[in-house]
Structure 1
Amino acid sequence: MTTDPEEKRRVDVAIVGGGACGLMTALRAAADPDLVIAVLEKSSREGCNAAISSGSLAAAGTRFQAAAGIVDSPQRHANDILAASGDEELRPVVEALCKVAPEFVEWIADTGYPIELGVDMPRAGMSVPRLHADTGRLCGARLVRHLRALLDRSPNAALVDEAKVVDLLVDNGSVVGVVVEQNGSRQEFLAAAVVLATDGFAADPTLRAEHLGDLGNPFYAGVATSTGDALRWTAPLGAQLRNMGAALRSGLVVIDHGTRVSPALQFNGAVLVNASGERFVDEESIGYSALAGILRRQPGERAAMVFDATAMAATRESEMMRDCLAAGAIRDLTTLAELADVMGTSENRASAAIAPRPGRRVLRPPYHLAWVTHGVLTTQGGLVVDAQGRVLDHAGAPIPGLYAGGGAACGLAGPHSDGYSSGSGLLSAFGMGWIVGNRLAKRAA
């Protein structure tokens, strides 16, 4: 690939992607005033997966947990993730991410972002409450805006918007920069280090068919920029890929609306009933990603999420539930007869279907109902990195000059989507950004 030789820029760090991983990498690397850092963002108008997420930060051993009297540790966190994923080969990376999680959560809070422990956010597989969220539950977009505002105030780092990276610059096996397409022309950014912090490949039909064909035809609830660019750029370098058949799925996507109900509903008594009027899962025992696969096997690939005023009160202030209410995605039903009619079954069968499991509470009228189906949010397969964020080749050796995190890197779900643990997406993105950014700053100091 050729570019105009006069159209070259030199930076110390070129970061591809201005989402969670890219922003954190830049902010940490910018602590070294001698570094010049460019964050090259394909399109902030299209958004990023961090911005459309709940913004929940999974971290163990934080001061917020201590204040709530919760005893936890990064090691316990890592063990919970690995128990779900079964991916012991990835333990060094998982442990490294869990180790820095309390550091970056407290750092974000100390920059003025309003964080609290989400004691109202229980999740399957999480042995103690460790999701941290913004007060007000205004989701990931609020956090992304906050971090971009911090970056704007950094004198040695800048986010360059509408700067589409189209290739890597390679010299004798080392990555030495990127090729950027902007305003109808191409230019080279030469860099001592390149960090791939792009989203995954869930928006690319060809890559989805190749790697995730067994998921059927799920609703896609991610961003349009998740086109797998990093996979194409690194293939000629012999970059190693892992767990390409795994995705972050959701079994809580509301049909005909595309919103999602809160994963905390089922911990507040909500039940799932399929189109045949049958209860088909222990709702508290399974995460929302694994639930997607179960829902796909139900009649019509859908189910009714049924809950009551108590469950609504416990969850309605989350961004997801506010979106559902604003979209008219939740039906209000005064009596059991109305509930049975909407479910297409008899009152007796409806009553049996919503009966509580042992030790759980009875749902009381009036009822609320949302028809949900399965969807895909992001992919979990990607580039293999070591605990320092360096991209590895097929021999397990680092590719010189190249780092990766966020959706470009292999996630923490293991080989199957069912292994995803809540909060692991932002843990992986922010955690690797923290690790790589700190490493780059120290190396150049």
Structure 2
Amino acid sequence: MSSPGSPDRSGDGRWDGEVDVAVVGGGACGVMTALRAARDPDLVVAVFEKSTREGCNAAISSGSLAAGGTRFQAAAGVDDSPQRHADDILRASGDEEWRPVVEALCAVAPELVEWIADTGYPIEVGMDMPRAGMSVPRLHSDVGRLGGGRLMRHLTTLLEAQPHVAYVDEAPVVDLVDDDGVVTGVVVEQNGTLQRIRARAVVLAADGFANDPALVREHLADLGTPFYGGVSTSTGDALAWAVRLGGRLRNMGAGLRSGLVVLDHGTRVSPALPFNGAVLLDVEGRRFVDEESKGYSSMAAVLQQQPRERAVMVWDAVAMAATRNSEMMRDCLAAGAIRDAATLPDLAHTLGVAEDTLARGLEPLPGRRALTAPFHLAWVTHGLLATQGGLVVSPRGEVLDAAGRPVPGLYAGGGTACGLAGPSSDGYSSGNGLLSAFGMGWIVGNALAAARVGT
């Protein structure tokens, strides 16, 4: 056996174990891949998770699932379709080259959302969750808005009930094993020992590279020094393994950003606030942006250019009532991240700005309602939540080489695959992260089950 830190990448050494499908990462993509592959009782599936203690990006997300054409939308009178969903995403990203992948993910989104609901998870379409660039309400959330942690616990519990699936925690994959370019397994570290696990298919379903300072400096230097709001395990390890075998990277300069990070707290205010009248003001109390025109990712770039890289969001009781039940706002309230001001003079005093300047800043844009006292406020800055660049994959999740050919035995999804934001962080649409993760897990898992891998 190889010694720790020196993985044997060849296919010539002995194996310490064998499965049909090895899934690298136990987040949204990995769990969904395993759940769908497990429909075939003849497949043995192992999910190798770096650390559930550190968590995954899906678990700390809002848990909002974007899908067009669901029964939940139909019941709410929302006319939508997978094609309309895909067109909205591509209008934001401008990434027509990625249309086949976007359309494949949007095509399966309604089915996977309804399947999750049918497993007993309480889902509803978020009519109170408007987002920039979304032509109709299509974010689906759990009833009660308890967030991604609730969703991942539900799906992991379903996975634990599968008799031929092993979810192995504290077992980081450290490399791939290949035989002349054909992926034949993975190298897993457990308790300081490396084990070579043979697999007929390997699915790279790890988070991205947002917590690798060197990779962020290389690919996302234009973001400056944003607050990091993702998990510590997002170190992009799998990218180098796949590139070594011919895999290609694209859109590495794109990230999932947020311009709604509360300064000195790290919580985030709700993206629905601007659609309920909230106003962004600079440090002198002047309005500098049409808040509804920007998604929360593209808003980060706007805040980065502001003096001291910050702004104050101001809203009133009407906006608070419309958003306070979201997980983000509950977290902000619990952290003491939201302040109050009873009157306009109180607000001006709190902000340290001239009252007449503030009054002009709060004037509603055409067609918007005016805020009324008492006010709520939070100072916000820009943050990086996850990366969007990654491996080039086919609409079936196969990792592709420079000639567009699949790397044999290798699939990718989630943060390891190229996301849907296009070449810029400004192209990110709300819900893209979980759409990419769950959608590709659904596609790859279904294909592996249908193919009866290894027979």
Fold match by TM threshold 0.5: yes
Question: What aligned pairs does 1:11-410 form with structure 2 within 5 A after superposition?
Answer: 11-410=19-418
Structure 2 distance, partners of 1:201, 1:2, is: 24
Structure 2 distance, partners of 1:399, 1:193, is: 11
Structure 1 distance, partners of 2:386, 2:414, is: 11
Shift of 1:348: 0.8
Structure 2 distance, partners of 1:73, 1:97, is: 12
Aligned to 2:4: none
AA aligned opposite 2:8? T
User: Is the CA contact (8 Å cut-off) linking 2:255 and 2:389 kept in structure 1?
Assistant: yes
Secondary structure of the 1:12 match is: strand
Structure 1 distance, partners of 2:393, 2:362, is: 46
Aligned to 2:3: none
Secondary structure of the 1:317 match is: coil
Secondary structure of the 2:373 match is: coil
Structure 2 distance, partners of 1:52, 1:96, is: 26
Q: Deviations over 1:52-92 (max 9, x none)?
A: 00000000000000001111000000000000000000000
Structure 2 distance, partners of 1:195, 1:5, is: 22
TM-score of the superposition, structure 1-length normalised?
Answer: 0.99
Secondary structure of the 1:52 match is: coil
User: Is the CA contact (8 Å cut-off) linking 2:64 and 2:139 kept in structure 1?
Assistant: yes
User: Is the CA contact (8 Å cut-off) linking 2:15 and 2:198 kept in structure 1?
Assistant: no
Shift of 1:5: 5.9
Give unmatched runs, 5+ long, in structure 2.
1-6
User: Is the CA contact (8 Å cut-off) linking 1:271 and 1:306 kept in structure 2?
Assistant: yes
Mean alpha-carbon deviation: is it higher for 413-422 or for 334-343? 334-343
- Percent identity between matched residues is 72
Secondary structure of the 1:279 match is: coil
Structure 1 distance, partners of 2:247, 2:217, is: 21
Shift of 1:204: 0.3
Structure 2 distance, partners of 1:406, 1:55, is: 14
Shift of 1:314: 0.4
Q: How many residues align?
A: 445
Q: Deviations over 1:373-395 (max 9, x none)?
A: 00000000000101000001111
Secondary structure of the 1:262 match is: coil
User: Is the CA contact (8 Å cut-off) linking 1:7 and 1:186 kept in structure 2?
Assistant: no
Shift of 1:308: 0.3
Matching residue within 440, 444, 450 for 1:436: 444
Shift of 1:2: 3.4
AA aligned opposite 1:37? V
Secondary structure of the 1:124 match is: coil
Q: Indicate whether 1:2 and 2:13 are aligned.
A: no
Aligned residues: CA RMSD: 1.1
Secondary structure of the 2:58 match is: helix
Q: Deviations over 1:407-431 (max 9, x none)?
A: 0000000000000000010000000
User: Is the CA contact (8 Å cut-off) linking 2:8 and 2:177 kept in structure 1?
Assistant: no
Structure 2 distance, partners of 1:231, 1:342, is: 47
Shift of 1:230: 1.0
Structure 2 distance, partners of 1:166, 1:369, is: 45
Shift of 1:235: 2.1
Secondary structure of the 2:302 match is: helix
Structure 2 distance, partners of 1:235, 1:133, is: 36
Secondary structure of the 1:437 match is: helix
User: Is the CA contact (8 Å cut-off) linking 1:58 and 1:131 kept in structure 2?
Assistant: yes
Structure 2 distance, partners of 1:161, 1:119, is: 37
User: Is the CA contact (8 Å cut-off) linking 1:122 and 1:264 kept in structure 2?
Assistant: yes
Shift of 1:277: 1.8
Structure 1 distance, partners of 2:254, 2:26, is: 24
AA aligned opposite 1:227? T
TM-score of the superposition, structure 2-length normalised?
Answer: 0.97
Mean alpha-carbon deviation: is it higher for 275-284 or for 214-223? 275-284
Q: Structure 1 residue runs of 4+, over 4 Å off?
A: 3-7
Structure 1 distance, partners of 2:391, 2:343, is: 52
Secondary structure of the 1:51 match is: coil
Secondary structure of the 1:210 match is: helix
Secondary structure of the 1:432 match is: helix
Shift of 1:157: 0.8
User: Is the CA contact (8 Å cut-off) linking 2:207 and 2:416 kept in structure 1?
Assistant: yes
